[in-house]
Amino acid sequence: MHFGLTEEQTLIVETTRAFVENELYPHEREVERTGRLEMDLIRELQQKAMAAGLYAANMPEEVGGAGLDTPTWLLYEKELGRANYALHWTCVARPSNILLAGTPEQKERYLYPCIRGETWDCLAMTEPGAGSDLRGMKASAVQDGTDWVLNGTKHFISHADIAGFAIVFMASGEEETPRGKRKKITAFFVDKGTPGFSVRDGYRNVSHRGYTNAVLEFDDCRLPREQVLGEVHRGFEVANSWLGATRLQVAATCLGRAERALKHAIDYAASREQFGQQIGKFQGVSFKLADMATELKAANLLTFEAGWKYDAGTVTDEDMAMAKLKATEMLAFVADEAIQIHGGMGLMDDLPLERIWRDARVERIWEGTSEIQRHIISRALLRAVGG
């Protein structure tokens, strides 16, 4: 593994960081205050992101993306992660990789409009009674002739309010396994406006203000078989094949926010004076900075090693779990320590620290809780010795 950045990577980092600082930072406080993004602002920033070559940059070149290798993509995500989540996800959208699993017709209908910025996608897996245990989902899809009929509820569905369609995972049958019956899962494309499909407002969230969630309701929602994504009853295979890298994306965005918080803490420790000297000269503060920097570097190394192994075809589930676990828990630590160094000022919204601190909390929950990541890691360790 080579640790230095190429000339191209350096340019991407510099371009993305400049865009984030010049175009996204100025709108953060308003989004935090109102909890929403106006469509006029979304479209304005979207056009600027496209002009800068940053929109849908996660996609392969053959479909109109930047064709970045995984480490370079993670560098790009890391820089975007410095800003308010709603701003960077909505205005510099990265369509879900799972759209690449569609048929040519499905790509024309769903993937390319997302890449062109005409619409957004959303993923619907989680239910009120099925979070980490997705096999426990109750929302169902039943075949009726050549059609499928969907019923049930999904919640915590990010940005479904602006998405033009949802990629929905439904229980579509059962199979016998050595551990008993297990539900089969099928993935479907469901267009906004399809009869029997409705979207309503979700919950107010302490993290990522402006990045909305919604509740999706399916009431005898009828779909033709052409709306199936992948193979019938093979929805988990589709998800595992195309969504694994999202844990690396979460890790990378956490790195960006942690770097921003650490920079504020270092600058404050070097300029704030108490008892006749800079507070950074007191070990109670300087040792915090040392620990923060060390934890951040460790998370960086785990994340980018996993990205390098992803492209080499050697990445494992536990590699990605380790990166996600370390980066998300590191961010919580760094954000908390940065506030402690600032004292009361750290909790004021004049600085981004209280937002970073709040936003850090959800990272240990979505895309697989910290407990799920530890389960993946420990299971791999035990299996290696026959456990």
Distance of alpha carbon 313 from its chain centroid, rounded? 22
Place of tokens 């589930």: 317
* Torsion on CA atoms 191, 193, 197, 199, rounded to nearest 10: 100
Q: Are strands 121-124 and 147-158 parallel, antiparallel or unpaired?
A: unpaired
- In three-state secondary structure terms, 22 is helix
Question: In this predicted model, what pLDDT tens digit does every residue of 159-210 receive, in sequence order?
Answer: 999 999 999 999 999 888 777 788 999 999 999 999 999 999 999 889 999 9
CA distance 188 to 332: 35
CA distance 41 to 44: 5
Nearest to 311 by CA among 50, 68, 109, 65: 68
Question: In this predicted model, what pLDDT tens digit does every residue of 29-58 receive, in sequence order?
Answer: 999 999 999 999 999 999 999 999 999 999
The catalytic residue among 259, 295, 318, 367 is: 367
Question: In this predicted model, what pLDDT tens digit does every residue of 123-146 receive, in sequence order?
Answer: 999 999 877 677 789 999 999 999
- In three-state secondary structure terms, 157 is strand
- Structure tokens that stand for 385 in this block: 């010795």
Note whether 215 and 142 are within 8 A (CB). no
Question: In this predicted model, what pLDDT tens digit does every residue of 211-251 receive, in sequence order?
Answer: 999 999 999 999 999 999 999 999 988 888 777 789 999 99
367 is catalytic: yes
- Count CA within 13 A, CB hemisphere, residue 321: 17
User: Quick one: 100 exposed, middle or buried, by C-beta within 10 A (0-12, 13-18, 19+)?
Assistant: middle
Question: In this predicted model, what pLDDT tens digit does every residue of 294-342 receive, in sequence order?
Answer: 999 999 999 999 999 999 999 999 999 999 999 999 999 999 999 999 9
Can you count the helices (H) and strands (E) in the chain? 13, 10
Neighbours of 312 (CB within 10 A): 10
Range 127-135, long-range pairs (CB < 8 A, 24+ positions): 127/152, 127/153, 127/154, 127/155, 128/153, 128/155, 132/368, 132/369, 132/371, 132/372, 134/169, 134/185, 134/236, 135/182, 135/183, 135/185
